[in-house]
Amino acid sequence: MTCPLRYRLRAIDKLPEPPNPAAARGIVVHAVLERLFDVPAGQRTPDRARALLRPEWERLLGKRPELAALFPQDTDGAVLASWLAEAEQLLEQYFRMEDPTRLEPAGRELFVETTLESGLTLRGIIDRVDVAPTGEVRVVDYKTGKAPPPDFEHRAMFQMKFYALVLWRRRGVVPRRLQLLYLGSGDMVTYDPDEADLRAVERKLRALWAAIQRAVTTGEWQPSPSRFCDWCGYRDLCPAFGGTPPPYPLAGVTATTTPGSAAGDTAADTRTAAARATRPAR
């Protein structure tokens, strides 16, 4: 929805994006907040969270050694120390927004999947799911950036409604609350969905998938310039900025009636779902 061309380059061409310090910091902060709930409630302190930062960075680096390129000239470790200090600030902000000693999440980094009546499979990974003693469900997502202006807030909330739809179709219960925690600015954005909201999301997803299938066939993945272009790793390949995309890898593909899959979470999950979705068309 943000940019069809970026979707193509990421999900179909599978071009890697250059390492990004902010994105890598977000991954590490998410990992710390996930592991924080592994320890007893009374030990979930800011000091404990800070102590988890460097080990989680080293764990990520072991999985993705290309991230070492983020600090190429950091001979004395000062740049990495500054980067970790910024991550510490995000964690300190988290403790100002919530008290983790009072929470016992029902799910963390929870993989969810459901298949709609249309045959379209939805899948994603939710940062956190809380379930109250009375059964109400709260879906929580951590954002390490700042809260967007009201005109752009709907983009992030659509992701949350996607999760809510999957949970509703899978469990038969509409989540009571959707909650976004913007650690970069200390803002908490909440929304209480109902069945009408989620049915509207389902209709939009069906239309979106139909548009993706058409684009797979035609090869027409147009760029959609916006302020998000400043953070796009594919900017040099974008015609809107004088670039040229690589040859379309699915030229000559004929659309199929296979419903396919759509993912509503991280870039990695989106790539996986899109690859599976385009495989029948190949």
27-73 pLDDT per residue, tens: 999 999 999 999 999 999 999 999 999 999 999 999 999 999 999 88
pLDDT score for 276: 39
Give me the domain span that covers residue 84: 21-102
Q: State yes or no: pLDDT of 107 exceeds 80.
A: yes
Residue 242 within a domain: no
pLDDT score for 189: 95
Residue 66 within a domain: yes
Residue 225 within a domain: no
Residue 202 within a domain: no
CB neighbour list of residue 42: distance below 8 Å, 6 or more residues apart? 101
Contact 47, 100 (CB under 8 A): no
pLDDT score for 170: 94
Q: State yes or no: pLDDT of 269 exceeds 50.
A: no
Q: What is the mean pLDDT of the chain?
A: 90
Q: State yes or no: pLDDT of 175 exceeds 60.
A: yes
Contact 30, 145 (CB under 8 A): no
Looking at the chain, the whole-number percentage of residues with pLDDT higher than 90 is 80
Classify strands 261-263 and 121-131 as parallel, antiparallel or unpaired. parallel
Give DSSP secondary structure letters for the chain: ---HHHHIIIIIS-PPPPP-HHHHHHHHHHHHHHHHTTS-GGG--HHHHHHHHHHHHHHHHHH-GGGGGGSTT-TTSHHHHHHHHHHHHHHHHHHHH--GGG---SEEEEEEEEE-TTS-EEEEEEEEEEE-TT--EEEEEEESSPPPPHHHHHHHHHHHHHHHHHHHHHHS---SEEEEEETTTTEEEEE---HHHHHHHHHHHHHHHHHHHHHHHH-------SGGGGG-TTGGG-GGGT--PPPPTTTT--------EEE-S-HHHHHHHHHHHHTTT-
Residue 77 within a domain: yes
Q: For 197-204, what is the mean pLDDT? A: 97
> Residue 8 corresponds to which tokens in the numbers above?
């193509």
Q: Which amino acid belongs to residue 46?
A: P
CB neighbour list of residue 78: distance below 8 Å, 6 or more residues apart? none
Q: For the chain, how many structural domains are there in total?
A: 1
125-141 pLDDT per residue, tens: 999 999 999 999 999 99
Residue 40 within a domain: yes
> Residue 63 corresponds to which tokens in the numbers above?
């999985």
Q: State yes or no: pLDDT of 272 exceeds 70.
A: no
**Which helix (H) or strand (E) is 274 found in, with range?**
helix 267-278
Q: For 252-267, what is the mean pLDDT? A: 56
- Looking up tokens 């969810």 gives 112
> Residue 16 corresponds to which tokens in the numbers above?
């890697």
Q: State yes or no: pLDDT of 280 exceeds 50.
A: no
Q: How much is the CA Rg of the chain, to the nearest whole Å?
A: 20
Residue 282 within a domain: no
Residue 49 within a domain: yes
Q: State yes or no: pLDDT of 268 exceeds 60.
A: no
Single out the residue of 268, 154, 254, 143 nearest to residue 204, CA to CA.
154
